[in-house]
């Protein structure tokens, strides 16, 4: 049975199970909410990038960019676990 069949409540397929932190990026089809895997992934990326953006603003850090002179470290080791896990989830989703 496909996760897209009518009546399916939820079925998970991990993108990458390399760590506990990445489990938040699991794709599921939630028939009740009407979210397909791509929508759910986009929502998870949005939530995680908002976490990162809030952290950068609160610490007066420049956000990551593709500019030649941009910092090579985007999240300092001293960052809260939530921020580190959000960055890892975004990278795994890419």
For residue 84, pLDDT beyond 70:
yes
16-68 residue pLDDT tens: 434 444 444 444 555 556 778 899 999 999 999 999 999 999 999 998 898 99
Average pLDDT, integer, range 76-92: 95
Long-range contacts of 49-52 (CB under 8 A, 24+ apart): 49/86, 49/90, 51/82, 51/83, 51/86, 52/83, 52/86, 52/87, 52/90
Separation of alpha carbons 89 and 75, rounded Å: 13
For residue 9, how many other CB atoms are within 10 A of its CB? 10
pTM of the model: 0.62
More reliable by pLDDT, 26 or 82: 82
Quick one: pLDDT at residue 59?
A: 95
């Amino acid at each position: 049975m496909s996760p897209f069949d009518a009546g399916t409540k939820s079925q998970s397929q991990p993108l990458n199970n390399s760590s506990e932190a990445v489990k938040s990026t699991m794709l599921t089809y939630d028939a009740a909410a009407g979210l397909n895997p791509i929508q759910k992934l986009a929502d998870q990326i949005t939530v995680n990038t908002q976490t990162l953006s809030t952290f950068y603003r609160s610490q007066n850090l420049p956000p990551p960019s593709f500019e030649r002179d941009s910092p090579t470290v985007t999240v300092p080791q001293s960052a809260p676990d939530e921020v580190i896990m959000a960055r890892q989830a975004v990278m795994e989703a890419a």
